[in-house]
Structures are given as C-alpha cells and as structure tokens.
Amino acid sequence: MSQTGPDTSSIESILKEGRVFEPPADFSERVGGSYISSMDEYRKLYERSIKDPEAFWAEVAAQFDWFKPWETVLEWDLPDARWFIGGKTNICHNCVDRQVNNGYGDEAAIIWEGEPMEGGKPEIRRYTYRELQREISRFANVLKAQGVKKGDVVTIYMGMVPELAIAMLACARIGAPHSIIFGGFSSQAIADRVIDADSKTIVTCDGAWRRGKIVPLKDNVDEACNQLERSGNAIKNVIVVKRCKNDIQWTDGRDHWWHELEKNVDDECPCEEMDSEDMLFLLYTSGSTGKPKGIMHTTAGYMIYTAVTARYVFNLVPNQDQVYWCTADIGWVTGHSYIIYGVLPNRVPTLMYEGAPNAPDESRFWSIVERHKVTQFYTAPTAIRAFMKWGREHADKHDLSSLRVLGTVGEPINPEAWMWYHKVIGQEKCPIVDTWWQTETGGHLITPLPGATPTTPGSCTLPFFGIDAAIVNEKGEEVPHGTGGLLAIRKPWPSILRGVYGDRQRFIDTYFSRIEGMYFPGDGAKRDDRGYFWIMGRVDDVINVSGHRLGTMEVESALVSHESVVEAAVVGMPHEIKGTGIAAFVTLEAHAEPSEELMAKLREHVAREIGAIAKPDLIRFTDALPKTRSGKIMRRLLRDIASGTDTNQDVTTLEDLTVMAKLRESDES
C-alpha cells in the first residue's frame, strides 16, 4: 500500500467491539411493508443477481418507461461498461411525467423549506408532480430559447432552492448534461470546471441563504466570467434566480433573470428520447493529482440503479405518508442521486432544506423532522458529530417519532456517533443504514438493507444486489477475512462511471490499473468473520473532510500560488467535527515573515482558490519540509506531527523539520 495507507489500528479496536443490532421486530409494520425482510431473502436475491446479473438488471429496468426497449443488457469491455444498449428513455420522464401519466399528478413530489424564519415560521413550498412537470418544461423551453441544445453542458451554481431541482431536471429533459458546482466553491473552481466542460451557459442565483447571511453566488459567477473572458472561454448566458434580493452587477446581453425569461415560454416541452448511454451529467470530484476530474454518468444505468437502491435501502413505499429527507446539498453526488434522481421515481416526496442546521438555532433539523413528519432521514457522520457536540437537548425538544430509517454516508462513522444517532435520533427504533459509495459509483454499493441486515456500528455491512465486492491484495487475490487490503469491485454495475471527461488515460489509471481486471475505488478495507465490510479510508493522497474528498495536491497548489509561499505539504489530521481536518506545512519566501496575519491570509487565499471547505485548520511554517533522499515529501512524518498538535496559537514557531527528516531518512529511503 502507498505511504499514506489507512491506519488499521482504529479498525482493530472497532472490530473488537462488535455489537449487533437486529432490525426492529415491528420494522415492516412501521414502514408499510419491508421490501427485504430477512437475511435469507437478501442472500437468495443477492446470489441470483451475481449469477445472472443481466437477467436481474433487465427485470429491474422493465419497471421503468422506455421509448424504445434495449437490445443488449450489458457490454463489458474493460474498462468500458455499456448498459441497455439500443434502448431509449429519459430520466426526467421517469421521475415526473410517468407519475402524472399514471394518475399521481396531484401527489407531492418536492417539499421545500427555506432557511429564513419570519415570526418563527419558515417559507414552505410544495410541488406536485404535475406542477413540477410544468415548471421543468417551462425552464427547459427557456434553455432551448437561449440556444442550449442536446449535448451542450449547462453549468449550475445555485443554492438549495427548488429552481435548482427544476434546472437539473430541465437539463435532463432536453438532453443537455448538467455540471452542478457546489455553492461553497470559489470563482476559480467555477472557471476551471467551465473550461474543462466547455460550457457556455451558467444558471445561478443572486445569492444563497446560509446561517442568516447571504453567499454572493452571482458575484462569484461574475468573477469567473471575467476570468473566462480573458482566457477566451467566454460564457454566453447567465440565468439568475432572484432569491436573496442582494445587490448584484449586471452585464447586458449576457445576464438574464430566470423570471423574465419564463414570461415568454410555453408550459409544454416533450422529453428528448435519450440513448441509454447518452451523458446525463458531469460532476467534478477530487483526485490525488492535478485538477478535479469530471466524472461522467449516463442515462439508463444511472436511472435504474439510483432508483432501485433508494427503494430498498430507505424502504421507500408510496401511499404510506412517507416523507424522505436527505440533508446533503444537491451540489454533491449524494444530492444528485438521493435527493432527486433516485427518489422521485419511487413516488415518495423528497424534502429539500435550503440552509444550515444551526439556523436560527441548533434544533433546526429536528424542527423540520417534526413539522414535516419525516420518515427517512439521511445525513453524514460529520453532521452527527456536530449534533452530539451541540447536545441532545435540541433533539429532545422535538417529536421525532415519525422517523423509520436513518442513514449515513461520506466517511466511516465512529461507533460513538453511531450509538448517539441510534439512541437520541432513532430512539432505538430505527435501523441505521451506513451506505458506502462514491461519486464514481453513482449509487450505494455496500450498505445494510433496513429490514434485513443486522448492523454493527462502524461497518457498512454487505454489498447491494449485483455488486461483486472483495478485499484483495495488489495482485488482485482475495485476502482472508480479518486481513486489510484494497477494496475492489469485480464486475460492472449499471451506474458505474463511464469516464473522466476529456481524460481517457486518467480514467484507466485511476480506476482500472492498480488491480488488474477490477474497479478500484481507492479505499482500503477489511471484512470481519461474518463477511461484513469495514472501510478503512483512502489509500491515496486524498483526504476526506466532512465527508467530501479533497486532493492534497489541490490545496498545496493553492498555497503555492500565494506570493509568499515556496513550498507546501498538506496532510489530514484528526478533527472532532470534520473527522479529518487539513494541516498545511508551509515554507515561505526569504522575505516573508511568519505571522498570525499571514496565516489568516493564506487561509483566505485557499478559500478564494478552491472554496472554504479546503481552508487549512492548521498551518505550520517551516524552513524546510522533511524529504527522503529521492525528494519525496515524508507525509507520514507530517501526519504524526499534525495529529500530535492541537490547533492552539503556537503555530508561528518554526519547526526544524529538516532535523527530523535526517533522523528518519535511513528507514524511509
């Protein structure tokens, strides 16, 4: 394994604990019927799905609407998987129109709650499938009128407003792949992604509400546009949703208000008949080297896989007054798959919340659960750790008895947080589904099924149907249970990434080179004696901050782009809330003086270059970085230093890391 391989010691201690929680006896009754109710049922179906995946997935696909049936279920020519070849469908149709056509047009599709409270009351909007169909069609017509055609990439940089869901579904409707950029990213990040995707249209908002403040989205887009203009990649259209009514700049001819453009369009827009393998969206994610990768997902495989995982993993059942809530931002893959695309086809309303969990106070999420009688709740370990820190009294103030299934995603959950979630939020009645997956996998790959799988805090348990997962060594040989190794998937599944946009070699190198003949997700893991999977973290130079991947390279490049910095090394360090925080070791130009002020400036600089999520939690100035004789930075040593240090103010002291480097040189090189 690489020098930044996972720390197995924490896993050892988790394994020792081994508490087992059976699905509650009344689970099926509580959810209006459990899809999979026993391990026997799971195993039978799993075996069938592995023995004959094509028959299994064809059966699933037949539950969706197709304009033209497929001819071949799967063509697997490593590393390329093509699913449902020859078929024509549309994911927006299957999310929305299908429900209307089947007579469910008046049921709630999206329930949206805004962040600001007036007189103790939030703004709530409800969209039925019929209303959603109309709104999507209108905006699809706006896009067409602006010259957007099938195949054109539309960049979306918005807050969590209903128009974000409408915009993405409108893109899907007309076959224009979307590239959604999380609203916390900087103008630089927008410009990089727009250039990579060769996108000419941006949909944004004037601002976004976040903890009572306005995030100036349009200003960031303007800055990105200026830069794009200078580099010959000018943006043609910027469409702006008026949300916060903040003052913004306006460029005539380029900028348009969403509500103005909508005055001139029709209510109807037919769904484009998309090839199964036509691109649905691009979503950028970090890697260990270079710029973010544009992960490509296509239409049919992604559509059926996200919908069927959402159905089984959250046990979504129509007509049972279920309200499903995933707290992610749509700007991440979790929001793409499990707020919108995987949920709407299941005919259970999906709740979208605009703002922060502590606005106006720390009980906001629980007031939302109570107000909307949320039945399935899906969040991240970093959020759970924040709730724990704020104290259980915020949850205890609210009636959480509507909850049926709890979920987590993004990073391994520490057993303490798992137990808190189970007791305080689930009131010991709700199964917890710890779902392991990635931007590249499109949907859950390893996860409990709530009515069937006994769970153990810290384990994501067993593979979903059709997922042939294993722990292997570098030669691709399966290792015995209890031994750590590389997590690998031996066969393709319908929503596997189809490529890295514009970079075929990187696609092959990153996912299909380390282990011959298999997909390598980049995680280390092990299985226990029941065969349960325990994820041990990334094996590359990627750090998982608050459940989101950041390439250490990206943060280092951002630091080095500051005039005072010569060299920088970034490593992960334990962080109470984020799980992993960012520690940066920085060597300055001769004229630059280490100071608190410079530290603050560097943090701001990184936020400007990438986004606030990448701000180092700790910066240490050093006159040299520890390196091996061959010049490789000794990250392991830096990690030791970073984790042994608290973020107190003693950060400007120069450390003589060269001495340490010399001490360790002999055993590293």
420 binds ligand WT7, rule: CB under 6 A = no
Nearer to ligand WT7, 292 or 357 (CB): 292
410 binds ligand WT7, rule: CB under 6 A = yes
523 binds ligand WT7, rule: CB under 6 A = yes
Nearer to ligand WT7, 538 or 620 (CB): 538
Return the amino acid letter for 53: P
In whole angstroms, give the CA distance from residue 469 to residue 462. 9
Per-residue tokens: 584 = 């940066």
Q: Could you tell me if 550 and 286 are in contact, meaning their C-beta atoms sit under 8 angstroms apart?
A: yes
Interface pick for ligand WT7 out of 93, 422, 548, 635 (rule CB under 6 A): 548
240 phi/psi in degrees, rounded to 5: -120, 125
Q: Could you tell me if 124 and 111 are in contact, meaning their C-beta atoms sit under 8 angstroms apart?
A: yes
554 binds ligand WT7, rule: CB under 6 A = no
Per-residue tokens: 267 = 């209510």
CB of 411 to ligand WT7, least distance (A): 5
326 phi/psi in degrees, rounded to 5: -110, 125
383 binds ligand WT7, rule: CB under 6 A = no
Nearer to ligand WT7, 209 or 437 (CB): 437
CB of 568 to ligand WT7, least distance (A): 23
In whole angstroms, give the CA distance from residue 339 to residue 349. 10
CB of 379 to ligand WT7, least distance (A): 11
**Site size for ligand WT7 (CB under 6 A):** 23
Interface pick for ligand WT7 out of 141, 201, 285, 580 (rule CB under 6 A): 285
202 phi/psi in degrees, rounded to 5: -120, 135
Nearer to ligand WT7, 34 or 495 (CB): 495
Which 316-375 residues touch ligand WT7, going by CB under 6 A? 333-334
Nearer to ligand WT7, 214 or 535 (CB): 535
- Residue 560 CA to its chain's centroid (Å): 28
Nearer to ligand WT7, 216 or 521 (CB): 521
Task: Point out which span in 35-43, 149-157, 274-282, 408-416 binds ligand WT7 (CB under 6 A).
Answer: 408-416
In whole angstroms, give the CA distance from residue 126 to residue 239. 23
Task: Please count the CA atoms within 13 angstroms of the CA of 186 that sit on its side-chain side.
Answer: 15
CB of 525 to ligand WT7, least distance (A): 9
Return the amino acid letter for 571: V
CB of 35 to ligand WT7, least distance (A): 21
In whole angstroms, give the CA distance from residue 484 to residue 490. 17
Nearer to ligand WT7, 61 or 307 (CB): 307
CB of 11 to ligand WT7, least distance (A): 11
Interface pick for ligand WT7 out of 374, 535, 539, 641 (rule CB under 6 A): 535
| Strand-strand pairing, 154-157 and 201-205 | parallel
Task: Point out which span in 189-197, 343-351, 521-529, 658-666 binds ligand WT7 (CB under 6 A).
Answer: 521-529
Task: Please count the CA atoms within 13 angstroms of the CA of 376 that sit on its side-chain side.
Answer: 31
Sign of the dihedral defined by the CA atoms of residues 550, 556, 557, 560, in that order:
positive
538 binds ligand WT7, rule: CB under 6 A = yes
Judged on CB neighbours under 10 Å (0-12, 13-18, 19+), 564 is middle
Task: Point out which span in 183-191, 296-304, 544-552, 559-567 binds ligand WT7 (CB under 6 A).
Answer: 544-552
Per-residue tokens: 218 = 């349009």
Interface pick for ligand WT7 out of 400, 432, 460, 569 (rule CB under 6 A): 460
CB of 439 to ligand WT7, least distance (A): 3
Interface pick for ligand WT7 out of 329, 362, 411, 541 (rule CB under 6 A): 411
Nearer to ligand WT7, 515 or 535 (CB): 535
Beta bridge partners, 313, equal none
376 phi/psi in degrees, rounded to 5: -120, 130
Per-residue tokens: 301 = 């495989």
Which 424-453 residues touch ligand WT7, going by CB under 6 A? 434-439
| Strand-strand pairing, 255-257 and 237-241 | parallel
Residues near 79 by beta carbon (within 8 Å), at least 6 away in sequence = 507, 508, 511, 512, 519
CB of 517 to ligand WT7, least distance (A): 20
Per-residue tokens: 238 = 């910027």
Nearer to ligand WT7, 207 or 410 (CB): 410
306 binds ligand WT7, rule: CB under 6 A = no
Nearer to ligand WT7, 410 or 451 (CB): 410
Say what the alpha-carbon torsion angle 160, 161, 162, 167 is, to the nearest 10 degrees. Answer: -80
CB of 440 to ligand WT7, least distance (A): 7
CB of 284 to ligand WT7, least distance (A): 10
Give the other-Cβ count within 10 Å of 2's Cβ.
13
Please give the angle made by the CA atoms of 560, 565 and 570, to the nearest 5 degrees: 55
Q: Could you tell me if 155 and 203 are in contact, meaning their C-beta atoms sit under 8 angstroms apart?
A: yes
Q: Could you tell me if 605 and 569 are in contact, meaning their C-beta atoms sit under 8 angstroms apart?
A: no
Which 13-32 residues touch ligand WT7, going by CB under 6 A? none
Q: Could you tell me if 160 and 352 are in contact, meaning their C-beta atoms sit under 8 angstroms apart?
A: yes
Beta bridge partners, 84, equal none
Interface pick for ligand WT7 out of 485, 521, 611, 626 (rule CB under 6 A): 521
CB of 34 to ligand WT7, least distance (A): 21
In whole angstroms, give the CA distance from residue 540 to residue 523. 8
CB of 538 to ligand WT7, least distance (A): 5
In whole angstroms, give the CA distance from residue 549 to residue 537. 11
Nearer to ligand WT7, 70 or 437 (CB): 437
- Give the interface with ligand WT7 as residue ranges (CB under 6 A): 285, 333-334, 409-412, 434-439, 460, 521-523, 535, 538, 544, 547-549
